[in-house]
Amino acid sequence: MNVELITLGTAAGPAIRGTEPGISSAVVVNDDFYLIDFGLGCTRAAAEAGLKGRNFKGGFITHLHSDHVVELPGFLLWNWGKPVEGFTESFPIIGPAKDPHRDGGEQLAGTHDLVANTLSGFAYDIDIRIQDEARPDLHALVQAREIEVPNEPIFEIYQDDNVHVTATLVEHPPVFPAFAFRFDTAAGSIVFSGDTAKSQALVELARGADVLVHEAVNLDFYRERNFSGAFLNHQACSHTSPEDAGDVAAAAGVQHLVLSHLAGVAPAQWWHDEAAKSFTGQISVARSGNRYALSQLSVR
């Protein structure tokens, strides 16, 4: 079994700072692949990585901030049907339910409504292509599933012949729920932090994993540019410094820390050196198109 992580985009959002696409990663198992988050530019990045919609097995959404879901519509519409070597069989899009803690949260969209409203908004285009190009009914292919959170800290959300996917709640206030995901395969394991403050729950989810893909923030970038106190407080309470990401990786005993979803601008060496203060294993500062083979645990 060949298993590979591809970082399709590594930028935090929704601001655009630099040329890097928005946050999205792929887990590739032989010819099949799974996407984790759908940040700006992920559709083109997936195509450039050679990922064909016909091999798409499912999508996983860590939380419903726009920089993690904005290109879900584009990915679905650009990878659908035989004319574009796209999907013709059903697949899940798995993500958060509505936020029960937010005032009026029951009237705001969860993953089910996000998918349903996407398909409704593009109903004209979808209908024409079904009739004019003999594409399958996209409404029947996309199966939205909202994650039910049990009392256990770590819980299963998906399984097929390639992967076993578990999740835990992480801390990304004021967003709730926000998840981290672990993909276990016959060749090894990859964990995605999603957006989170330093999290003990994530340590437990990532324990013994081969690769931990962890977000990181450069708070000095925002301080030096006189961002508001409220914005700085959000970054400090809802994200993780690269040094603390290294702490999580060390506590979990992972082999390889991949820094992604980089908020604020800094040279790659800065991100690496900050994480290396607390983690002595392999560290990569991800860029779009980087590929990490589990058998090699190195970037190509």
Question: What tens digit of pLDDT does each residue of 241-295 get?
Answer: 999 999 999 999 999 999 999 999 999 999 999 999 999 999 999 999 999 998 6
Higher per-residue confidence, 62 vs 106: 62
Whether the Cβ atoms of residue 14 and residue 26 lie closer than 8 Å to each other:
no
pLDDT category at 186 given cuts 50, 70, 90 is very high
CATH class name, domain 3-299:
alpha beta
**pLDDT at site 296:** 57
What average pLDDT does range 15-20 have in this prediction? 92
What average pLDDT does range 222-226 have in this prediction? 95
**pLDDT at site 88:** 97
pTM: 0.96
pLDDT of residue 205 exceeding 90: yes
pLDDT of residue 104 exceeding 80: yes
φ, ψ dihedrals at 38, nearest 5°: -130, 65
Rounded to whole angstroms, the Cα distance separating 35 from 20 reads 17
The helix/strand count (H/E) of the chain reads as: 11, 15
Rounded to whole angstroms, the Cα distance separating 241 from 246 reads 9
Rounded to whole angstroms, the Cα distance separating 227 from 217 reads 14
**pLDDT at site 297:** 52
